[in-house]
Structure 1
């Protein structure tokens, strides 16, 4: 299940150009294909984990996998923008139910010790494997038809369900007060903000719908905070945020998540629409990003316990900033070896330096009982704020394209040279937006004051929590 969800998140960006051409998506509709999934996934992830505790993890996991499988079929059969976006949102709900329950099932299925450690290592490896193979498999499937990137989930999902019924054992249900209002308010609030920024460039920033989305979204987020203060079992316990370094950590995590989420679609669109790469060629071109990220993650995991973590995060985000700033100057004359290779590897290395110490900072200096909730909130911060970043960066890209004589909703193959140049300017302007977000992440990281000793303790506590 973990491999399938990582693959799904990776391949969708590669297929955007083909989906837009086939279904006639507007630029905002193209962004919704990505954001609708992430909004429901990130917004409901904490609630999904609580559902497993409240009703039994096997039962909830099977339900989540079944929903993900059915909605993957609906995505593959979509006939227009509305049906695809709706199916993607429901797919995110399925992922939010199944994903947090999956790791918990690993812990309850395998006995503590070497066997569980190996199982957790295999589970974690699926993220790295999925990131690389998703680029290759996604590109190859998109060459045949973009629909196959979703339809391939159906037989995989059926196999998962068969093995889940046979191999998994049910866990005891706990009596928990579920914070359903909090999950719904957070999801709807972020959706409103994303709607406003996504539709603003095309509908007009003064449009009543756009203004309603922006104002309503921020109001709902304010109500969410008020509800969380009084909730019996809140998704967002405010007691965990009394430490200023932890607040700075979560802000940095959110901003880095925004960069990573926004970067992939626009680079994929640039190399396909402007440089005329095929989907498979584009996927192969991005593989060095995963290797750069992996190399940096290995280095960061070794030295995070020896130097102040903020300097690792600052270094990583500044490397990312410089790489994206360079990327924003590219045009149709760019070549892979001369321009893109160093950019892809460099940005991957910068992101890798930042993403290792930040989750450790999120759980630094807390008791064993608080590690799980904080780790989950850290994951949600990256996942839920990603669509907000894409909405902001996407608004910058579309506004730039339209201001230079470009059009929205027209396939690149049907554009004249002026429109294509405007499209290229919009895509590279999006990279400038990502660079700004990376710079803000570096600034926020300066306020993280955790010591190497605290990070080392967090690393040890995280391993102990997994083995318990």
Structure 2
């Protein structure tokens, strides 16, 4: 087997592929190699060889289809954030129903993403992409014409299922469609750039469209989706299909457990924590989670191999990754709601105000990238957590009349830097001390954990905000209907919510103390991963 950390006295220099598909980590002085087979992540020779270079026209058509659907899937996770207040006011949603508009999409897409990737391997990636894009386009139209909250949430649920199909399939098609060399490198660069800017584009586009009408934020996907379907049908070739038993039960149970937990948390403040609905949701959560563990232990191809959680360092890294994903998602939603419902910003103004967060995150990631080979991951995670706590402390003192700069801009920028410093060491710690054939499953699990964490942490914080607001004399309904005293209660609730979110950040630091990887292990793992990326694996 190929380990990504190796011994302390064995620097990893390069990776070579042996005949027969074996992997060896070669060292010029020690001559160390390990003959165990490693599974390639993707093989471009299913469709093309290095000599078969696509024409420029074909390249543009393929990358437009793949990047287009990836951009739509990413944008839809953020595009609705700054439209939430308008949606709530127009449809008369409660705070709990308002949260479901955004969380149900993230739940479905994150919970079913691993299953969506397996379906692409089974029935063919091209077919999966077209079916997913068609469902995504149809549900976008349904969201745009939704006449009440129930229809909107149902459409968002199906849209999340579609995103779970298209996101991993698009990534797989980038690897299997283009041959090794400059062509694939260019395709990967374009695809990666689209993924990087997707969240920012979603925020700004969502704010701009919601300024006119929140329905446009959904309807704009329809013509783009139709173009993607046409390009995929005409430019893509079908991939080889693999016969495997799908772990559909595992994907459904994981999503059901998270959904039941969020439902109970969101209804608790309104229905009562000892109500039949809340307690029933808790029982469903426990039963679904227990069934999920049982299914994954016996499944032929589990979506979550439980053996990957047996290592203490890796388990702590998974836990910190989960909590960090939850904090990031929750912070974005809370800022969007606060600046519009309390400070009176419009959707476009609110979206632009949040853009510095994305750039600050990149700055924090750049700083952490330079330090990660000198300091252990837990040191950087804790440092980033302290920076993030400082930003949250400043944000909790905001008031309705506070100016954007520096009262709001400074905490947003500092929070972005802190999160960037946390994400980089966690991402590298995930691939420390793993076999090459474990890279794919571990990366997929990390994506799923980050996706599911957002709705769960948001549900907890939103429940705290709602309970505090109601105790202070506030209301559950749309903000447009509240009076001055109720607005003060809402402001008090948000302040309490920021304090609770700070508690989650503190928990990240506590969990990080259990991550025992050294800076040397992380540096060697990064060296091997870079070599694998160069090989196109």
Band the TM-score falls in, shorter-chain normalisation:
over 0.9
Structure 1, unmatched stretches of 5+, are: none
Q: How does 1:444-455 map to 2 (within 5 A)?
A: 444-455=511-522
- Distance change in 2, residues 1:65/1:457 (3 Å): farther
Give the aligned partner of residue 263 of structure 2: 195
CA distance, structure 1, for counterparts of residue 374 and residue 183 of structure 2: 30
Q: How does 1:160-239 map to 2 (within 5 A)?
A: 160-239=228-307
Deviation at 1:465, TM superposition (A): 4.2
- Distance change in 2, residues 1:73/1:462 (3 Å): farther
Aligned length: 467
- Distance change in 2, residues 1:180/1:13 (3 Å): same
Q: Is residue 322–residue 435 contact of structure 1 (8 Å, CA) maintained in 2? A: no
CA distance, structure 2, for counterparts of residue 2 and residue 425 of structure 1: 39
Offset from partner CA, 1:345-375 (integer Å, 9 cap, x none)? 0001111111122122112111211101100
CA distance, structure 2, for counterparts of residue 75 and residue 337 of structure 1: 35
Give the aligned partner of residue 261 of structure 1: 329
Deviation at 1:451, TM superposition (A): 2.1
Give the aligned partner of residue 428 of structure 1: 495
1:341 pairs with 387, 397, 409, which one? 409
Give the aligned partner of residue 529 of structure 2: 462
Give the aligned partner of residue 108 of structure 1: 176
1:354 pairs with 422, 442, 445, which one? 422
Give the aligned partner of residue 481 of structure 2: 414
Comparing 377-386 with 449-458, which one deviates more in the overlay?
Answer: 449-458
CA distance, structure 1, for counterparts of residue 530 and residue 249 of structure 2: 33
Give the aligned partner of residue 376 of structure 1: 444
Q: How does 1:276-291 map to 2 (within 5 A)?
A: 276-291=344-359
Q: How does 1:2-21 map to 2 (within 5 A)?
A: 2-21=70-89
* Aligned: 1:158 with 2:226: yes
Give the aligned partner of residue 509 of structure 2: 442
CA distance, structure 2, for counterparts of residue 241 and residue 414 of structure 1: 49
Q: Is residue 110–residue 451 contact of structure 2 (8 Å, CA) maintained in 1? A: yes
CA distance, structure 2, for counterparts of residue 317 and residue 209 of structure 1: 36
Give the aligned partner of residue 402 of structure 1: 470
Q: Secondary structure at the match of 1:232?
A: coil
Give the aligned partner of residue 42 of structure 1: 110
Give the aligned partner of residue 129 of structure 1: 197
Please report the RMSD computed on the Cα atoms of aligned residues, expressed in angstroms. Answer: 1.3
Structure number, greater radius of gyration: 2
Q: Secondary structure at the match of 1:365?
A: coil
CA distance, structure 1, for counterparts of residue 251 and residue 428 of structure 2: 25
* Aligned: 1:68 with 2:136: yes
Q: Is residue 259–residue 434 contact of structure 1 (8 Å, CA) maintained in 2? A: yes
CA distance, structure 2, for counterparts of residue 342 and residue 440 of structure 1: 24
Deviation at 1:297, TM superposition (A): 1.3
Give the aligned partner of residue 312 of structure 2: 244
Structure 2-normalised TM-score? 0.85
Offset from partner CA, 1:51-75 (integer Å, 9 cap, x none)? 1111111111111111111111111
Offset from partner CA, 1:46-97 (integer Å, 9 cap, x none)? 1001111111111111111111111111111111110011111110000001
Q: Secondary structure at the match of 2:283?
A: helix
Offset from partner CA, 1:192-242 (integer Å, 9 cap, x none)? 111000111111111101110012112211221121111111111122122
CA distance, structure 1, for counterparts of residue 499 and residue 186 of structure 2: 41
* Aligned: 1:141 with 2:209: yes
- Distance change in 2, residues 1:77/1:215 (3 Å): same
Q: How does 1:94-105 map to 2 (within 5 A)?
A: 94-105=162-173
Q: Secondary structure at the match of 1:352?
A: helix
CA distance, structure 1, for counterparts of residue 269 and residue 102 of structure 2: 18
* Aligned: 1:312 with 2:380: yes
Comparing 196-205 with 332-341, which one deviates more in the overlay?
Answer: 332-341
Structure 2, unmatched stretches of 5+, are: 1-68
CA distance, structure 2, for counterparts of residue 457 and residue 107 of structure 1: 25
Deviation at 1:115, TM superposition (A): 2.5
CA distance, structure 2, for counterparts of residue 200 and residue 407 of structure 1: 15
CA distance, structure 2, for counterparts of residue 135 and residue 179 of structure 1: 34
Structure with higher helix content: 1
Offset from partner CA, 1:315-365 (integer Å, 9 cap, x none)? 112211221122122221322113101100000111111112212211211
Comparing 217-226 with 92-101, which one deviates more in the overlay?
Answer: 217-226
CA distance, structure 2, for counterparts of residue 248 and residue 55 of structure 1: 36
CA distance, structure 2, for counterparts of residue 82 and residue 130 of structure 1: 28
* Aligned: 1:321 with 2:389: yes
Give the aligned partner of residue 7 of structure 2: none
